[in-house]
Chains A and B, each alone.
Chain A
Amino acid sequence: MASDQPDGAAENDQPPALTPEPNVRSEPAGRRSFLRGLAGGVAGGVLAGGAGGYLYHGNPADPAAAANKAAVLGRLPAVPFHGKNQAGILPKPKGVTAVVSFDVTAGDRASLIDLFQTVTDRARFLTEGGTPPPSGIGGPPADSGILGPTVVPDGLTVTFGVGATLFDDRFGLAALRPAHLATMTSFPDDDLDPAQCGGDLVVQMSAGNTDTVLHAMRDIAKHTRGGMQANWRIDGFASPARPAGTVPRNLLGFMDGVANPPVTSATEMKELVWVQRGAPGEPAWTAGGSYLVIRLIRMLVEFWDRVDVGEQEAMFGRRKDTGFPLDANSLYAAPNYTLDPTGDIIQLNAHIRLANPRTKQTASSRILRRGWNYDRGIDQVGDLDMGLIFTCYQQDIKRQFETVQTRLIGEPLVDYISPFGGGYFLAVPGVTGPSDFYGRALFA
């Protein structure tokens, strides 16, 4: 079946070709009232215009050239920002990521729109790259400068999502709440910390290098100080596939996300990932979006490392070394549960068997799984605090993630993991062009 193909074997691994022409843009008219201080500042008007990627003439720092040079230096080229869907959803995790949840502090609907426009403007500039404008004598530098004088794209994607709480009574959006958006369910094996759950908004920034992600984070935060406040944050990284050509491993040492639906299959993306126009109960503005479930899952790695490998493999249903299903001789082979009805080879409560039973009835519950590893210090007994930033995309959280998660309740693996945070969001539809912005249709 299609889902047995390697996840995105032909997907966006190779970044799109760079446009060779200089990225000279005219300055957008006007200025967001939301950024009133920066707007008033001498550098302010310029700063918004920076979204277009300004250049210094005579100093050819156009993003395309910068990206070409940067690629040589180990930086990734730009991922096109504009599109029907957000650009950060389908690509496989690569490099590093930061997930930041925000609550909106903007006081009214107009300020909320300003906020969404501002985040869009910054994301457009940051993902395209370019040279930030100088402030002259009118203020501190417009840019943190941590990427040097020219902002390199470095494969940055900025994925923007909205949470259920945005649709309370503050902004008059209650009637437009996405049909499947709710507060994250607490499952029986969870140990959720409210301080690390939920949020009105979520911004996930992923790029080739940590400095690129931190640059984007500082830039977006600086331009939105009055409009939103960070709730919780977690940083992650994608391990390289080891050995090369396989699938990256999680911090339990197992390959993660082998059985994803292929992102190259428009049909499966349509059936599983993108919210469709006219979907029952779904407000029109959500079409082209995708529900994002984020689960922060601590892995008790010291405990895990004291477990026999045979037991570990039984819990997952895959070999630890090769990633093969226990009943097969290749990584992407589909386990044949029909031939193993009593779980003699892959036990009935193995993770891969519960997560994806590979039946006709369960096909529609598949998710696009995007895992990132996290590592953040130690706990009270000196054990390492590391684990998984589980993210997945789907068009219906109940039909997909919650159905899968319900099947996983009580799986043997739960003794070695502890979900402690995250949230449900709708990654809004893509920004289709220079005059579009995140969630524009929501405010139409």
Chain B
Amino acid sequence: MNIGRSALPPPISREPVLMLTTVMRTTGLLAIAACAASVATLAACSSGSGQQAGVVTVSNNQCGSSWQLPRPGWHTFKVNNQGTNGAEIDLLDPANGAVYAEIESSGPGTTTPMSLKVGSGKYAFLCLFADSDPDQGPTVTVAGHVAGTRPILPVTYNDLYPLSKQYQAETEAGLKVLAPETAALAAAVRDGNLAAARRDWLTAHLQYETLGDAYGAFGTFDDEIDGRADALGVNNPQWTGFYRLEYGLWHDQSLQSLTPVASTLNTDVGKLVVWWKTQQVPLTDIGRRTHEVLENALEFQLTGHDDYGSGTTLATTVANIQATRALLALLDPLLTPRYPGLAAVKSGLAQLQALLLKERQSNGSWIPVAKLATQTRQEIDAACGQLLQELAPIASITEPRNTARGF
């Protein structure tokens, strides 16, 4: 044996009781395990359960009645569902319901790992069995001053419902701005005024892109209004919408031939305005879209994929930033206490927007991505990639969760 090893932490043992003794002696840290429904002494706990270390049994009438820890730190609970049906199992701080870890779906008869860094604090399992009342297990206190996984206050359906209504209303207002813009565009095309048509196209398209329609918010309307030529090909008459019109306006197609295209676009927007009033935004969508809109911008705009001739995909990305900001503004009260990275998200949005706006010419036109200097393009792509990393946790944090108190 190498003498230097004495400096290392004590080895990990599979024997929890033995291990606990070691930890108590060497570090003074104390993990108190809960037995049955009350906080009990270590001795009582260890002699009473006889269960495999780390195994937590849950059932319809028992939620984590016996668990113990060798010491604070990384730990994997093996949550064994002995109930008769499926359940969501959370490990929470009983003081405020903040969640350390969760198993979204634990099937009957299964054992599912739940991993976290257990630090000093209070812990309790919460079992949400289908068709049963929420059942909170005993509280376990881990003493000392050891930092562990930071619990997050769950966002509930009740938290999100008003935001969903507000989002719906804001989008409705945005669509009402869009409708006269597509009408003006259709008129310019019909009048044979190419300059006006191009100008009005950009105005209307950017307005549409501020609505953050990623991932089917507008159902099939998005295919009709903002669909790509991808599967259809640019000569397919089934291809309609903004990009179809862009292709024509910037590829010398006659305005006469484009008049029905612009008219159909305007009609479809009108239908969307009506349809949208009857829609309800799924609650999980708000959080997810905070990164999905810009994921799409990176995939389709910053690559130049969606440049059908106008060279304005950087402007589209700015509009997508606006859409993302609107979503974040809605979620702000929920995110502020839950997400320490929020400030970085905001500065990341500002940084990306500033980089993009530098590529707008004084005459209002935009530099196509394909013509950007390499360094500029790298800076934009890096800023967008970093921002997306920062946005990514929001969907998880704002996913609506059942809780004993909030639901």
Interface residues of A (CB under 8 A from B): 21-22, 24, 27, 36-46, 54-60, 62, 103, 105, 131, 133-140, 222, 225-229
Contacts and interface: CB of A to CB of B under 8 A. Distances in A.
B220 interface: no
26 contacts: A21-B5, A22-B8, A22-B9, A24-B8, A40-B341, A40-B342, A40-B344, A41-B341, A41-B392, A42-B339, A55-B12, A56-B74, A56-B115, A57-B73, A57-B74, A57-B76, A60-B12, A60-B14, A105-B378, A105-B379, A131-B74, A135-B396, A137-B399, A140-B392, A225-B388, A226-B386
A138 to B, nearest CB: 6
B382 A40 contact: no
B14 A227 contact: no
Interface string B314-356: 0000000000000000000000000111111101100000000
Nearest to A35: B389
Interface in B342-393: 342-345, 347-348, 374-375, 378-379, 381-383, 385-393
Given A42-B397, A136-B116, A59 B54 contact: yes
Contacts of B70: 57-58
Max chain A CB contacts within 10 Å: which of B113, B116, B149, B389? B389
A137 B53 contact: no
Interface centre among A21, A43, A137 (most CB of B within 10 A): A137
B102 interface: yes
Contacts, number: 155
A21 B117 contact: no
Given A56-B75, A59-B76, A226-B386, 11 more contacts: A22-B11, A37-B348, A60-B14, A133-B115, A134-B116, A136-B102, A138-B150, A138-B152, A138-B396, A140-B395, A229-B382
Interface residues of B, number: 59
B279 to A, nearest CB: 28
B71 interface: yes
B341 A38 contact: yes
Contact of B392 (A22, A45, A131, A139): A139
Nearest to A23: B8
Which 8 pairs from chain A and chain B are nearest by CB? A40-B341, A37-B390, A226-B386, A139-B393, A36-B344, A225-B385, A105-B382, A40-B340
B378 A133 contact: no
A44 B152 CA distance: 14
Most buried by B among A37, A38, A225: A37
A421 to B, nearest CB: 15
A226 B396 contact: no
Most A CB contacts (10 A, CB to CB) among B11, B74, B379 go to B74
A41 B385 contact: no
B241 interface: no
Contacts of B5: 21
Nearest to B52: A58
A39 to B, nearest CB: 7
Contact of B154 (A55, A105, A137): A137
B382 A55 contact: no
A43 B149 CA distance: 8
B100 interface: yes
A136 B344 contact: no
Q: Is the contact region of chain B dominated by helix, strand, or loop, or is it mixed?
A: mixed
B101 interface: yes
Nearest to A22: B12
B152 A137 contact: yes
B99 interface: yes
Interface in B277-307: none
Contacts of B54: 57-59
B382 A41 contact: no
A37 B345 CA distance: 7
B352 to A, nearest CB: 10
Contact of A136 (B8, B152, B342): B152
A58 B53 contact: yes
B102 A137 contact: yes
A229 B381 contact: yes
B46 to A, nearest CB: 14
B97 to A, nearest CB: 12
Contacts of A134: 101, 115-116, 149
Nearest to B392: A140
Nearest to B104: A137
Interface string B1-40: 0000100110110101000000000000000000000000
Contacts of B115: 56, 133-134
B149 A37 contact: no
A140 to B, nearest CB: 5
Nearest to B11: A22
Given A54-B74, A134-B101, A137-B101, A226 B385 contact: yes
Nearest to B4: A21
A136 B100 contact: yes
Nearest to B378: A229
A21 B348 CA distance: 42
A43 B101 CA distance: 11
Interface string B33-72: 0000000000000000000011000000000000001110
B149 A226 contact: no
Given A103-B378, A136-B116, A228-B382, A42 B150 contact: yes
